[in-house]
Amino acid sequence: MAVAVSSAWAPRMRALLRIVTGLLFLLHGTQKLFAFPDPSQAMPHLPPLMMVAAIIELVCGALLAIGLLTRFAAFVAAGEMAVAYFKAHAPHNFWPTMNQGELAVLYCFVFLYFAFAGAGAWSIDGLIGKNRAR
């Protein structure tokens, strides 16, 4: 019984993970670009690499949240998080718990999961796939 329940809910739970992760990632982009939701963290003059990161976070976060171009968006986002980790965190210490890089590592591997697993339920990718099959 427990196996049947967990199997039935797996696509929905993957969708919830995708939606929540996408929205949280999107907030990193809005924080950098628009000082939202916390205006005290405003970054008025972003260096070029941070501007690119903010745009990736905003666009890929939105795409992941709605489940459109999920595999591509997740792959790009995973790459950004790998670069962020090795550029901003790893030089300070090897261990993520010592260099405040846990979130970058976690995002990277969650995005890699979606790059390979796809969007799951409740996605535009899923709707497009159903329409193509008809």
Per-residue model confidence as pLDDT tens digits over 113-122: 999 999 989 9
Question: How large is the average pLDDT for residues 28-46?
Answer: 88
Q: Residue 115 is part of which domain span?
A: 48-134
Q: What letter would DSSP give residue 60? A: H
Whether residue 57 contacts residue 28, with contact meaning beta carbons closer than 8 Å, is answered with: yes
Instruction: Please indicate, yes or no, if residue 125 is contained in any of the structural domains.
Output: yes
Quote the pTM value.
0.90
Instruction: Please indicate, yes or no, if residue 57 is contained in any of the structural domains.
Output: yes
Q: Is the pLDDT reported for residue 9 higher than 60? A: yes
Instruction: Please indicate, yes or no, if residue 16 is contained in any of the structural domains.
Output: no
Per-residue model confidence as pLDDT tens digits over 87-125: 999 999 999 999 999 999 999 999 999 999 999 899 999
> At residue 65, what is the residue type?
A
Q: Residue 3: what pLDDT?
A: 61
Count of domains forming the chain: 1
**What's the chain's Rg over C-alpha atoms?**
17
Q: How far apart are CA 7 and CA 70, in angstroms?
A: 22
Buried b (16+ CB within 10 A) or exposed e, 42-76: eeeeeeeeeeebbebbbbbbbbbbbbbbbeebbbb
Instruction: Please indicate, yes or no, if residue 1 is contained in any of the structural domains.
Output: no
Instruction: Please indicate, yes or no, if residue 3 is contained in any of the structural domains.
Output: no
Q: Residue 123: what pLDDT?
A: 96
Q: Residue 38: what pLDDT?
A: 86
